[in-house]
Amino acid sequence: MQLTNDTFLRALAREETGHTPVWLMRQAGRYLPEYNSTRKKAGSFLALAKNPAYATEVTLQPLERFPLDAAILFSDILTVPDAMGLGLYFAEGEGPRFERPLRDEAAIRALQVPDPGGELRYVTDAVREIRKALAGRVPLIGFSGSPYTLACYMVEGGGSDDYRTLKSMLYGRPDLLHHILDVNARAVTAYLNAQIEAGAQAVMIFDTWGGNLTSAGYEEFSLAYSRKVIAGLTKAHEGRRVPSILFTKGGGQWLEAMAATGCDALGIDWSTNLQAARARVGSQVALQGNLDPAVLFAPPERVRSEARRVLDAFGTGPGHVFNLGHGISQFTPPENVAALVDEVHTYSIKLRTTGAR
Amino acid sequence: MQLTNDTFLRALAREETGHTPVWLMRQAGRYLPEYNSTRKKAGSFLALAKNPAYATEVTLQPLERFPLDAAILFSDILTVPDAMGLGLYFAEGEGPRFERPLRDEAAIRALQVPDPGGELRYVTDAVREIRKALAGRVPLIGFSGSPYTLACYMVEGGGSDDYRTLKSMLYGRPDLLHHILDVNARAVTAYLNAQIEAGAQAVMIFDTWGGNLTSAGYEEFSLAYSRKVIAGLTKAHEGRRVPSILFTKGGGQWLEAMAATGCDALGIDWSTNLQAARARVGSQVALQGNLDPAVLFAPPERVRSEARRVLDAFGTGPGHVFNLGHGISQFTPPENVAALVDEVHTYSIKLRTTGAR
């Protein structure tokens, strides 16, 4: 099927585009009243994520409000360990937790790669249904947590300030952590390929916790396994390249190594200056980012001026996908998102015609 | 008074030393049973911090156990805003909080620099008493939170995942935040100078939250004010230079700018490779760091090998103070600290004689 708007995919391929495409991490989410209605109907976050019809409904909601250049599958980053039997749940007002975190060697050795056509079928069903509903309007992004980020949650049992349990294993029993990471890498590869097979036109790997490592640890425990995933990804589908985006929050010091994994683009958090990032790796990969999500708490004029700052930092030339540096906050006023998307489109067209920078 | 062991001060001055000096952020703390006893006696953390006799007792406790090369004043980073009248308290099992966070313009405009000889007298009294108790054994480090980190807590009212209130002010009313930061910079300068006057032989500025900013924001809201503090510090006392150490957690991308503030040393968190940091700024400043505190959860042999890794990364040559990349965890087994300090001393002497690297 022909895409009406393929700006996002062309920007990832570092081709010239008429404007800078924009989408927002967690764009289908709690800052939208219509999302909260659907979630209420579904009964819980997990019931929402596991029902393809609801997942389709919320995936499309932000596109109805804002002229975004991509849709992203509504799901959770922890679906894979959930399918491994760890029992994902959400305690009210808290982040994700597992009923059965990985705490002993026997459980770790018993870990299996889940069949994406089995327990995870609801995800590929959602991808298919969303593609149908999108009808070629914009591309659909599939995603997964990185092997390391999944392991952080699997071992810790949930989020953490210091990842004490995970780090104790990392320094005390690295062989066990490597075993988990190896299973995770195979599971994530199969999972992302199933999403591509079902119709995801780009994939993103979220390494939310890679930034809690040392430089050497990042290479050994995070990047080595993301690299394996990227190497195993289906590279083309429906006659078109399926680009991959690698995002490590707090990974600003490691962009060169990330760019060398074979991914098509890097997600950049807001702590890194985009001009500097582009100088370092922008001839190898496209860059996606990197507005501080907290800018969206400011008045619309400030949202617009900060958006221009990000666009100016990247400058003209191909290979920029505008995004936040992290997921959008539930406290964001939707009208500020409208101002942001409008400014990215309007100003990036202007930049191209005036040839500023 | 002559110092018995001035290795720490000589390393900060980038002079040759016989071994690499070591101390640990939060070395007087909850991982030590004797600390917990004193705290129990005092009744609460704040009662402990505000009583010079107790503060002296706990400051010296880690030195009784381990041959550390420096002592650090036992206090809290939020004493200054507490003295400004914000009402510091600690909710059980939570971090620090303020009873009266800065939420309206009138309160912000009314903010005053506290007299270090008034409300904060317990701090300088503690410094004097600790110096007496140390009797020249090792140097005493004074410290403060950075103007920005103090502002984060003052506006937010406590710790936060996203610093939403602070960031809303930063992007929506930057003039108000700049006013707070200006008062904080003057307050921190006076506070650190009072500590120096009372006997602190080095001072450290903890910018725990500077890493939540963009590159441009870090310069504007954090570094500009730390620079002011550093410029205003008493440079010598008791006939000796009083070096300053600037630490920004998550500041690995900004080391060049940090080194240009005029500080004597940079604190480096564990995400930055020390060899790379040294190549970037090690001819201008000394470096302090940077073992992942989670290494101390591993068996002693691993603690030792990871310590060697940090020492090897810095290599031989002057200007290294060994430390963790962040405060020591309350869950650390004290025997692992013993192994760490021993390994730093033993291996750094060996490195100097074999001339490795």
Give residue-wise pLDDT tens across range B261-316.
999 999 999 999 999 999 999 899 999 999 999 999 999 999 999 999 999 999 98
Kindly state whether B252 is in contact with chain A, defined as any CB-CB distance less than 8 angstroms: yes
Kindly state whether A93 is in contact with chain B, defined as any CB-CB distance less than 8 angstroms: no
- DSSP letter at B240 equals E
**Read out DSSP for A105-116?**
HHHHHT--PPPT
Q: Write out the two tokens for A255.
A: 């962009």
- pLDDT average, residue stretch A313-339: 97
Between chain A and chain B, the number of residue pairs with CB atoms below 8 A apart is: 95
Nearest CA in chain B to A212: B271
From the list A47, A191, A31, A61, the residue with the least C-alpha distance to A114 is A191
Is the predicted pLDDT of residue B357 greater than 60, yes or no? no
Choose the mutation target among B30, B160, B168, B171 for the interface with A, i.e. most A CBs under 10 Å. Answer: B171
Is the predicted pLDDT of residue A148 greater than 90, yes or no? yes
Using CB atoms, which residue from A172, A216, A295 is nearest to B297? A172
B329–A164 CB contact, under 8 Å: yes
- Please report which confidence band the pLDDT of residue B355 belongs to, taking 50, 70 and 90 as the band edges: low
Query: Is residue B251 classed exposed, middle or buried when 0-12, 13-18 and 19+ CB atoms within 10 A define those classes?
Result: buried
What are the tens digits of pLDDT across the range A3-40?
Answer: 999 999 999 999 999 999 999 999 999 999 999 999 99
Which pLDDT score is estimated for B1? 65
- pLDDT average, residue stretch A201-219: 97
What are the b/e assignments for B276-288, b being 16+ CB within 10 Å? bbbebbbebbbbb
Kindly state whether A161 is in contact with chain B, defined as any CB-CB distance less than 8 angstroms: no
Report the SS3 class of residue A150.
helix
From the list B308, B315, B314, the residue with the least C-alpha distance to B356 is B315
Which pLDDT score is estimated for B95? 87
B273–A171 CB contact, under 8 Å: no
Spatial distance between the Cα atoms of B175 and A214, rounded to a whole number of angstroms: 37
CA dist list (Å): B258 to A279, B143, B210, B324, B327 = 21, 17, 11, 19, 20
Q: Is A161 a known active-site residue?
A: no
Domain architecture of chain B: domains with CATH: 7-290+318-326 (3.20.20.210)
CA dist list (Å): A79 to A74, A76, A86, A91, A223 = 11, 6, 10, 16, 21
The complex scores an ipTM of 0.95
Contact assessment for residue B270 and residue B325, using Cβ atoms and an 8 Å cutoff:
yes
Choose the mutation target among A94, A171, A213 for the interface with B, i.e. most B CBs under 10 Å. Answer: A171
Spatial neighbors of B62 by CB under 8 A, at least 6 apart, are B24, B27, B28, B32, B68, B337
Tell me the nearest-neighbour CA distance from A333 into chain B, angstroms: 12
Q: What percent of chain A has pLDDT over 70?
A: 99
H-helix or E-strand containing A45? helix A45-49
What are the b/e assignments for B67-93, b being 16+ CB within 10 Å? ebbbbbbbbbbbbbbbbbebebeeeee
What are the tens digits of pLDDT across the range A39-91?
Answer: 999 999 999 999 999 999 999 999 999 999 999 999 999 999 999 999 999 98
Angle at which helix A174-198 crosses helix A164-172, to 10 degrees, equals: 120
Which pLDDT score is estimated for A324? 98
Is the predicted pLDDT of residue B331 greater than 70, yes or no? yes
Is the predicted pLDDT of residue B253 greater than 60, yes or no? yes
Give the active site residue among A76, A207, A264, A269. A76
What are the tens digits of pLDDT across the range B118-141?
Answer: 999 999 999 999 999 999 999 999
Q: Is A39 a known active-site residue?
A: yes
Give the active site residue among B76, B82, B207, B264. B76
Spatial distance between the Cα atoms of B346 and B27, rounded to a whole number of angstroms: 20
Q: What phi and psi, each to the nearest 5 degrees, are found at residue B248?
A: -115, 115
Q: Is B76 a known active-site residue?
A: yes
- Please report which confidence band the pLDDT of residue B2 belongs to, taking 50, 70 and 90 as the band edges: confident
Q: Write out the two tokens for B104.
A: 């309206």
Q: Is A30 a known active-site residue?
A: yes
- pLDDT average, residue stretch B57-72: 98
Which pLDDT score is estimated for B92? 76
Kindly state whether A251 is in contact with chain B, defined as any CB-CB distance less than 8 angstroms: no
For residue A294, list chain B residues with Cβ-Cβ distance below 8 A.
Answer: 162-164, 167-168, 170-171
Q: Is A14 a known active-site residue?
A: no
Sheet holding B71-72, edge to edge: B71-72, B140-145, B202-207, B244-248, B265-267, B286-291, B320-324
- Provide the whole-model pTM: 0.96
Spatial distance between the Cα atoms of A4 and A1, rounded to a whole number of angstroms: 9
Q: Write out the two tokens for A331.
A: 């406290």
Is the predicted pLDDT of residue A195 greater than 60, yes or no? yes
Q: Which residue has the tokens 């009583």?
A: B51
Distance of CA A11 to the CA centre of its chain: 17
Write down the mean pLDDT value for chain B.
Answer: 96
Query: Is residue B291 classed exposed, middle or buried when 0-12, 13-18 and 19+ CB atoms within 10 A define those classes?
Result: buried
Higher pLDDT pick, A321 / A93: A321
Q: Write out the two tokens for B80.
A: 């200054």
Spatial distance between the Cα atoms of B177 and B175, rounded to a whole number of angstroms: 6
Q: Which residues in chain A (317-336) have CB-CB distances under 8 A to chain B?
A: 329, 331
For residue B302, list chain A residues with Cβ-Cβ distance below 8 A.
Answer: 171-172
Is the predicted pLDDT of residue A116 greater than 90, yes or no? yes
Which pLDDT score is estimated for A258? 98
- DSSP letter at A329 equals P
Which pLDDT score is estimated for A94? 78
- pLDDT average, residue stretch A149-164: 94
